[in-house]
A and B are shown apart, each in its own frame.
Chain A
Amino acid sequence: MNKRGGEKLLSVWWFFVLTVVGVGIVVSVLMFYSAEEDTRSLESEILYNKIVDCVVDNGVLIQGISNKEFDLTKTCNLNEKVINEEKLFYIKINILDENGKSLREPIVGGSGGFPTQCEIQKPDENGKTTGAKHYAKCFERTINILYGDGKNGKLGILTASNNLGRKIGATENV
């Protein structure tokens, strides 16, 4: 066998290079395509919009929200199990008068750990945020509303989502 050709064909070094390149490309591609598409920020914004649409009617706070028996999930067509049991979402509604005084205790639902995660992710004075990718993504706004007999007030809503999908195996019953 020709010496130079034989060297190329049988070179352990060349097979090592091929293996490293191959494994590198396979691992990179698998990592890239198995990465989760993060829709949590979008979802928390959708949840916020849904709550505003539900509790505010033409700028006026709906009747009954100040009652202690007010059921947010039922009124706003939110699934009780997903919101309160599965701990994937968080909702906090603060109803304030024009001086910022609470008109009732906050309406809260979902995972109690999320407000801390939202707080941690808030940008500091330099505008930098922590890159905590496993923390819930949050959306918070305060809007002006009218309540009662046309009094001015504010509605503060914080929503958060940590809803990540899951892959289903071939044998899993769905």
Chain B
Amino acid sequence: MAEYMILIYEDENGYATASPDVFQQVMEAHNRFAQHVEAKGGKMVSGNALQPTSTATSIRGDVVTDGPFAETKEALGGYYLIEARDLDHALDIAKSCPARFGGVEVRPIMVFPE
């Protein structure tokens, strides 16, 4: 098994204008996803949602600025760290990761030699 990070990129406007119903659906979808990872034979290591990029502070050198590192239409809004057998397995799991207003990116975790 190896670790992969599923990075969730979404249009934040989607959530800013979403009704309570939509929020409810999204929460339920994420809860189902957590179970789904195990059902698929993978392992959920951790996962978190992030506050929107309006709360972000960036530091480059010594300079502290308000805002995210890069302005993009779809911003990183949360992540899951999972364990999977190989990339196909990780992709199979990530396909059911909720990302109603965008998509996800799957990245292998770098392993350093002992």
* B is bound to A: no
